[in-house]
Amino acid sequence: MNKIGKHLDYEEFNKSIDNGAIVLDMRNYYESEIGKFKNAIIPDVERSQELLPTVKKMLKNNKKNKILLYCTGGIRCEKASSYLIHNGFKDVNQLNGGIIKYASDVKKNNVKSKFIGKNFVFDSRMSESITGDIIGECHMCSEPCDRHTNCLNEHCHILIIQCSKCCRNFNNCCSRDCADFLLIDKEKRKKIFKSGKIKFNAQKSDRIKPKLKDIKNI
C-alpha cells in the first residue's frame, strides 16, 4: 500500500524526458503558469483535491508507460506516486528533491535546464527565476508576464498574474468590481461584504479567467 515512486536525480530525469516519458506537474495550476518542464502535462483542476483523480482519468490508457512526477520540493510526489501505483500504474518515478534541488543541480553541473521559466516559491519573493523565459501571461490582457500578485481588495485577495499596466489600470485589483469596491470607506466595505450581497473573484473560484469585459471598461 505504501509503495512510492522511484526517485530520480536530475540526470536520470532529463534522460527519461529525452526518451519520451510522460511528465506530470503535481503542483497547483497557478504555479505551473510561470514555469514548468518542457512538454509537461499540467492538469487543469480548480482545487487540489481534484488533482489525483483527474490525473488517474487522464492517464487511464498509459498505465504501462513511464511516468515522471515533479513538484516544488519533492514532498507532494510521495503521496501522488503512491496513489498512482495503488491505482495500477507500473512505472512511476519522481524527481528527487523537486524543482528546488533540480535547479541547483543543473546549475552546479553546468547542464541545460529542461525546466523553463520561474519556480513559484511560498515566500515574499513569490518566484525564483530558473531560466530567463517568460511562459506566463497576464490574466487580464494576455501579454507575456510572470508576475504573481494578490488583489488589493482585502475581501478578495485572489492570486493572479498581472502585468504592470493592468495593475495600474485596475488600482492593484483583480477586476473592476474590486477596484470600485476599494473606493468605498473601509468600515462600509466590511458591512457590505458581510451582507453577502457581493462576491469577488476569490469567493467565486480559485482561479480567474481573463475578463475581457473589464478590459473594455477601462
Helices 51-58 + 75-86 axis angle, to 10: 50
Question: Of 116 and 141, which CB lies nearer to Zn ion in the complex structure?
Answer: 141
Q: How far is the CB of 124 from Zn ion (least distance, A)?
A: 20
Q: What is 53-97 written as a DSSP string? A: HHHHHHTTT-TTSEEEEE-SSSHHHHHHHHHHHHTT-SEEEEETT
CA-atom Rg of the chain in angstroms:
20
Q: How far is the CB of 162 from Zn ion (least distance, A)?
A: 6
Tell me if 130 sits within 8 A of 115, measured CB to CB.
yes
DSSP β-ladder status, 22-25 and 66-70: parallel
C-alpha 208/C-alpha 18 separation (Å) is: 34
Question: What is the grid cell recorded at 18?
Answer: 529525452
Binding site for Zn ion (CB under 5 A): 138, 140-141, 143, 151, 153, 156, 163, 166, 174, 178, 200-201
Which residue type does 59 have? L
**174 has catalytic annotation:** no
Q: Indicate which residue of 71, 138, 167, 174 is catalytic.
A: 71
Question: Of 69 and 179, which CB lies nearer to Zn ion in the complex structure?
Answer: 179
Question: Of 41 and 215, which CB lies nearer to Zn ion in the complex structure?
Answer: 215
C-alpha 168/C-alpha 164 separation (Å) is: 6
Question: What is the grid cell recorded at 54?
Answer: 483527474
Q: Which residue has the cell 520540493?
A: 73
Q: How far is the CB of 146 from Zn ion (least distance, A)?
A: 12
C-alpha 127/C-alpha 120 separation (Å) is: 4
Question: Of 91 and 214, which CB lies nearer to Zn ion in the complex structure?
Answer: 214
Q: How far is the CB of 137 from Zn ion (least distance, A)?
A: 8
Q: How far is the CB of 184 from Zn ion (least distance, A)?
A: 14
Question: Of 8 and 138, which CB lies nearer to Zn ion in the complex structure?
Answer: 138
Question: What is the grid cell recorded at 72?
Answer: 516544488
Active site residues: 71
